[in-house]
Amino acid sequence: MAFTLHCVSVERSIAIFSPGLLGGSLVKTIQQRMPGLEVRVWARRQEAVDEVLRVLPGVTASTDIATVIQGVSLVVLCMPIQHMPGIAQQIAGCELADDLIITDVGSVKGGVVRELEAIFLPTKAAFLGSHPMAGSQHTGLAHARGDLFHQAACILTPTAHTKPEHLGRLRTFWVKLGCRIQEMAPQQHDHCVARISHLPHTMAVLTTLAALRKDTRVLDSSAGGFRDTTRVAGGDPEMWAGILMQNRTEVVAALQDAATELLELVEMLQTMDEEALRRFLAQAKALRDLLPAV
């Protein structure tokens, strides 16, 4: 489906739910790239609201969902995916604007889209999934950046319930924040990110544990290769547990493929098959070289 962007209305106000790394970065980017647009922030705790007001001047922040949601045209859910349905239920019980779109930044889409579409279908609002491929191993508002989404791929996951005008508006929003847009079905999204996001995270975790669980003293000799390979293992365990459980079918399939490759490598080394090892490494290099330069 193709939609022109020039005929789509501009959002009048945006509510960011949960001001962590992604939520805070969204606020900063919106303020830079869409100046004058009203931005509201919802946080679960008053301490977080106070931090938002201190760190993000020019926004309205509250722990009251009804206050934050009133009259806004776009909501972005930025909490861990396992908490999204509960928050969505509370939003659905509020007075909503006729043109409200709810989206998210979650790393899994199949279950999230299915649950949240069902929650909002009886309301005035519509849910449409988003996944900006941006982030960091760091968490929290203190690490929010105004350039986090620059040139990042953002995957939109429309379904049979998605209206063309809603897809057009959401495309416009992410493009204005600096993203490159892709569209795919929720299930296709989950297969894709299992391979290029969730598998790399689990492999970083496995490398960290295999290298350090028995003897952390080896860290004294570590260099950039170990740091780069294991960087994402420093991510928030609660958030990643939710991601891996939600996408467990695709992640298990990816891990099984990784296990097959690992067993082949072990066999090459055990049998001292140097020629096979060279081919193995060369194939990996050729595939890695397909990755576009940053």
What 182-187 contacts at long range (C-beta under 8 Å, 24+ apart), as own/partner pairs, is: 182/153, 182/154, 182/155, 182/156, 183/1, 183/155, 183/156, 183/157, 183/158, 184/155, 184/157, 185/157, 185/159, 186/109, 186/110, 186/112, 186/113, 186/114, 186/129, 186/157, 186/159, 187/109, 187/110
Domains of the chain: 13-184 (3.40.50.720), 189-288 (1.10.3660.10)
Q: What is the pLDDT along the chain (294 residues), one digit of tens a residue?
A: 333 333 344 788 999 999 989 999 999 999 999 998 999 999 999 999 999 999 998 999 999 999 999 999 999 999 999 999 999 999 999 999 999 999 999 999 999 999 999 999 999 999 999 999 987 767 788 888 988 999 999 999 999 999 999 999 999 999 999 999 999 999 999 999 999 999 999 999 999 999 999 999 999 998 999 999 999 999 889 989 999 999 999 999 999 999 999 999 999 999 999 999 999 999 999 999 999 876
Read off the pTM: 0.90
pLDDT score at 6: 37
pLDDT score at 135: 75
Report how many helices (DSSP H) and strands (DSSP E) the chain contains, helices first. Answer: 12, 9
pLDDT score at 49: 95
Distance in angstroms (rounded) separating the CA atoms of residues 43 and 49: 6
pLDDT score at 134: 86
pLDDT score at 271: 97
